[in-house]
C-alpha cells in the first residue's frame, strides 16, 4: 500500500485533522497568534496567548521533570541565544547549514530541492505548473546579528542555529562544577533561529522555535547501550502523551542520510495531515562535537576517568526535539469534532489533551450567577484549587455552553456548584472525554483532582 493510499484509508477511519482547524481554534481561544499581525505579520514567527503559554509551560515542565528530575545522572543548563561566532565555524554551520533552492521560471514558486519529488528534479519540471526551474542556489540558514555599537567595529555573529551547541560549550564547566561522572547527560530547553526559506504549516517549520536537547556523554564502549536506552525512552515518552499511538513510528536513517561520523540515527515520526514527519531525532554524534570545539578553541575537552585514569573525548548520544512541534502535534492529536448523538445540534469540539498537559485543569461553575449562596461556595472552591492548579471561574451563559467552552480548550474537569451543594457539601464533577458526572464531597475534591492532573 502506498503512503497516499494508507493516508486515504486513515482519513476514512479516524480523520486526520486539517491544520487550518488548529490555526483557527488557536487564534479564537488564545493559544497562538500570528506575530506582528497588525503590521501584516512576519512569516515563520508566532506568539503564544494565555492558553498557549500554559500548555507550553506544561509541555516543557513534563519534559524537564522526566529527563532531568527523574534521572540521577542528568543535569540541566540554560545557555544564551548568542555565542562566539567561532562556535558556528567549529560546528560546521557556517559552511554547511544550507538549503539548496530552485525557483520556477513560470509560476515563480520557490522549492527546496530536498523537498521535491526526485522525478521533478530529474525532468526539471515544476510540480505546480510544469515550468522550468532556475539554476539551484545555496542559502545559509544561520541568522546573522552584530555586536557592538561603533560602526566598522562591530562583530558579526549568529543567533544560535541549534540550541545544543551551548551544551558542548558548557560541558567542561559542568564536569568541573557539578561532580557528574560518565555516563551522564546535560539537558537544555532553548530557542533556535533559522532563516528557513520555506517556513510554513503553522508551527511546524518556523524561523524562531524552541528545541529540547539531551546530550548524553558516554565511554565509546557503552555507546550502543545508551543509544538504545534513550531511543526507547523517548519513544515511550511520546506514546504516553498522545491518543493516536498508531501514528507514532521510528524512521531509521538510510546510509545517504547519515552524518559521516554517525553509525546510526532514528527519527521519531508522527503522522498528521502533512504525512509522516519528524518529531524528534535520536543521533549518534560520537566525539564529533567535542573534538571540533577542542580543535577550534584550543582547549582540551577530554575527560579523565577517576577510577581507571583513562583520558578520552566522550562520545555523545543526542535526543533533539521541538517544543513547538510537540505543541502542534498534541493539538492535532487531541482535536475532535463530535456530532450530537441525539441530532439536536449540541455538537461539540473537544481537545483530548492529556490532563497533565491541559492548560486549564479544572473549571468552577456556579449553576446560577445571581444566587449569592452558590456564588460564595463556588468562589471559595476556586480560590482553594487555584493554589494547586490552573482553574477558571466561569458563570457566563447556561451550564451546557460553559461545558462546551471548556471542552474546546481541553479542560479535563468541570465542577458545578448547585442547590444540593448547599444541603450536603457535595459538587458535581464532570469528566471531559466521557462526559460522566459524579458527586463528590468538597473536602475530597482537591486530592481527587491532584491525583489525576499531576504527572507521576
Q: Candidates 54, 172, 324, 333: give the one binding ligand GAP (CB under 6 A).
A: 324
Is residue 56 close enough to count as binding ligand GAP by CB under 6 A? no
Q: Candidates 99, 280, 407, 418: give the one binding ligand GAP (CB under 6 A).
A: 280
Query: Restricting to residues 206-225, which ones interact with ligand GAP according to CB under 6 A?
Result: 206, 209, 211
Query: Restricting to residues 339-398, which ones interact with ligand GAP according to CB under 6 A?
Result: none
Query: Restricting to residues 230-259, which ones interact with ligand GAP according to CB under 6 A?
Result: none
User: Nearer to ligand GAP by C-beta: 162 or 418?
Assistant: 162
Q: Candidates 58, 320, 411, 421: give the one binding ligand GAP (CB under 6 A).
A: 320
3-class DSSP state of 327: helix
Q: Candidates 322, 366, 410, 412: give the one binding ligand GAP (CB under 6 A).
A: 322
User: Nearer to ligand GAP by C-beta: 99 or 418?
Assistant: 99
Is residue 287 close enough to count as binding ligand GAP by CB under 6 A? no
Q: What are phi and psi of 367, to 5 degrees?
A: -60, -40
Do 350 and 45 touch, CB atoms closer than 8 A?
A: no
Q: Site size for ligand GAP, by CB under 6 A?
A: 17
Do 67 and 214 touch, CB atoms closer than 8 A?
A: yes
One-letter-per-residue 3-state SS of 124-172: CCCCCCCCCECCCEEEECCEEEEECCCCCCCEEEEECCCCCHHHHHHHH
User: Nearer to ligand GAP by C-beta: 133 or 315?
Assistant: 315
3-class DSSP state of 293: helix
Is residue 278 close enough to count as binding ligand GAP by CB under 6 A? yes
Q: Which stretch binds ligand GAP (CB under 6 A): 52-60, 258-266, 273-281, 331-339?
A: 273-281
Is residue 196 close enough to count as binding ligand GAP by CB under 6 A? yes
Tally the C-alpha atoms within 13 A of residue 22's C-alpha that lie toward its C-beta. 22
Q: Candidates 52, 183, 190, 321: give the one binding ligand GAP (CB under 6 A).
A: 321
Q: Provide the minimum distance between the beta carbon of 400 and ligand GAP in the complex, in angstroms, as a whole number.
A: 38
Is residue 281 close enough to count as binding ligand GAP by CB under 6 A? yes
Q: For the chain, what's the residue count?
A: 456
- From the CB of residue 441, how many other CB atoms can be counted at a distance below 10 Å? 11
Q: Provide the minimum distance between the beta carbon of 280 and ligand GAP in the complex, in angstroms, as a whole number.
A: 5
- In sequence order, what are the residues at sequence separation of 6 or more whose Cβ sits closer than 8 angstroms to the Cβ of residue 338? 347, 348, 349, 350
Q: Which stretch binds ligand GAP (CB under 6 A): 70-78, 247-255, 276-284, 443-451?
A: 276-284
Q: Which stretch binds ligand GAP (CB under 6 A): 19-27, 130-138, 321-329, 399-407?
A: 321-329
Query: Restricting to residues 151-190, which ones interact with ligand GAP according to CB under 6 A?
Result: 162, 164
Sheet with 426-431, edge to edge strand ranges: 391-393, 362-366, 413-417, 426-431, 437-441
The greatest distance separating any two alpha carbons of the chain, rounded to the nearest whole angstrom, comes to 79
Phi-psi region of 399 (alpha: psi -120 to 50; beta: other; left: phi over 0): alpha
User: Nearer to ligand GAP by C-beta: 280 or 394?
Assistant: 280
Do 208 and 45 touch, CB atoms closer than 8 A?
A: yes
Strand pairing report for 137-140 and 98-103: antiparallel
User: Nearer to ligand GAP by C-beta: 203 or 363?
Assistant: 203
Which residue minimizes CB distance to ligand GAP?
Answer: 322
Is residue 194 close enough to count as binding ligand GAP by CB under 6 A? yes
Q: Provide the minimum distance between the beta carbon of 83 and ligand GAP in the complex, in angstroms, as a whole number.
A: 14
Q: Which three cell numbers stand for residue 80?
A: 544564551
Do 349 and 335 touch, CB atoms closer than 8 A?
A: yes
User: Nearer to ligand GAP by C-beta: 54 or 99?
Assistant: 99
**How far is it, in rounded angstroms, from Cα 236 to Cα 240?**
6
Q: Which three cell numbers stand for residue 48?
A: 503564544
Is residue 329 close enough to count as binding ligand GAP by CB under 6 A? no
The DSSP annotation for 169-228 comes to HHHHHHHHHH---SSEEEEEEEEEE---SS-BTTTTB-SEEEEEEEEEEE-GGGHHHHHH
Q: Provide the minimum distance between the beta carbon of 187 and ligand GAP in the complex, in angstroms, as a whole number.
A: 13
Q: Which residues bind ligand GAP (CB under 6 A)?
A: 162, 164, 194, 196, 205-206, 209, 211, 278-281, 320-322, 324-325
Amino acid at each position: 500500500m502506498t503512503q497516499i493510499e494508507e493516508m486515504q484509508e486513515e482519513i476514512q477511519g479516524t480523520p486526520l485533522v486539517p491544520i487550518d482547524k488548529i490555526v483557527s481554534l488557536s487564534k479564537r481561544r488564545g493559544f497562538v497568534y500570528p506575530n506582528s499581525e497588525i503590521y501584516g505579520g512576519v512569516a515563520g514567527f508566532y506568539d503564544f496567548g494565555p492558553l498557549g503559554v500554559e500548555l507550553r509551560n506544561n509541555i516543557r515542565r513534563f519534559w524537564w521533570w522526566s529527563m532531568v528530575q527523574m534521572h540521577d545522572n542528568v543535569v540541566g543548563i540554560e545557555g544564551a541565544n548568542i555565542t562566539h561566532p567561532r562556535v558556528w565555524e567549529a560546528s560546521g554551520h557556517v559552511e554547511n547549514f544550507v538549503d539548496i533552492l530552485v525557483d520556477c521560471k513560470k509560476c515563480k514558486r520557490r522549492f527546496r530541492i530536498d523537498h521535491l519529488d526526485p522525478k521533478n528534479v530529474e525532468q526539471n519540471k515544476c510540480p505546480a505548473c510544469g515550468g522550468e526551474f532556475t539554476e539551484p542556489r545555496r542559502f545559509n540558514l544561520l541568522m546573522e546579528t552584530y555586536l557592538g555599537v561603533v560602526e566598522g567595529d562591530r562583530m558579526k555573529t549568529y543567533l544560535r542555529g541549534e540550541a545544543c551547541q551551548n551544551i558542548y560549550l558548557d560541558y567542561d564547566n559542568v564536569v568541573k562544577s557539578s561532580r557528574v561522572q560518565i555516563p551522564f547527560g546535560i539537558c537544555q530547553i532553548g530557542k533556535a533561529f533559522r532563516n528557513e526559506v520555506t517556513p510554513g504549516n503553522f508551527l511546524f517549520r518556523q524561523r524562531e522555535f524552541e528545541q529540547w536537547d539531551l546530550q548524553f556523554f558516554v565511554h565509546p564502549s557503552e555507546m550502543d547501550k545508551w543509544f538504545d536506552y534513550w531511543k526507547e525512552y523517548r519513544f515511550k515518552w511520546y506514546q504516553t502523551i498522545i491518543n493516536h499511538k498508531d501514528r507514532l513510528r521510528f524512521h531509521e536513517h538510510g546510509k545517504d542520510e547519515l552524518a559521516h561520523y554517525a553509525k546510526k540515527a532514528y527519527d521519531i515520526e508522527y503522522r498528521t495531515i502533512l504525512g509522516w514527519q519528524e518529531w524528534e531525532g535520536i543521533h549518534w554524534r560520537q566525539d564529533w562535537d567535542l573534538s571540533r570545539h577542542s580543535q577550534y578553541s584550543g582547549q582540551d575537552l577530554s575527560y579523565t576517568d577517576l577510577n581507571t585514569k583513562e583520558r578520552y573525548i566522550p562520545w555523545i548520544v543526542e535526543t533533539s526535539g521541538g517544543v513547538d512541534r510537540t505543541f502542534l502535534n498534541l493539538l492535532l492529536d487531541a482535536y475532535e469534532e463530535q456530532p450530537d448523538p441525539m441530532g439536536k445540534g449540541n455538537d461539540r469540539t473537544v481537545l483530548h489533551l492529556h490532563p497533565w498537559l491541559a492548560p486549564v485543569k479544572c473549571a468552577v461553575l456556579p449553576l446560577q450567577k445571581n444566587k449569592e449562596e452558590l456564588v460564595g461556595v463556588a468562589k471559595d472552591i476556586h480560590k482553594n484549587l487555584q493554589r494547586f492548579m490552573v482553574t477558571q471561574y466561569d458563570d457566563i451563559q447556561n451550564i451546557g455552553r460553559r461545558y462546551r467552552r471548556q471542552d474546546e480548550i481541553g479542560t479535563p474537569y468541570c465542577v458545578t456548584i448547585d442547590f444540593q451543594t448547599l444541603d450536603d457539601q457535595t459538587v458535581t464533577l464532570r469528566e471531559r472525554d466521557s462526559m460522566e458526572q459524579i458527586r463528590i464531597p468538597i473536602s475530597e475534591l482537591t486530592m481527587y483532582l491532584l491525583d489525576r492532573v499531576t504527572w507521576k
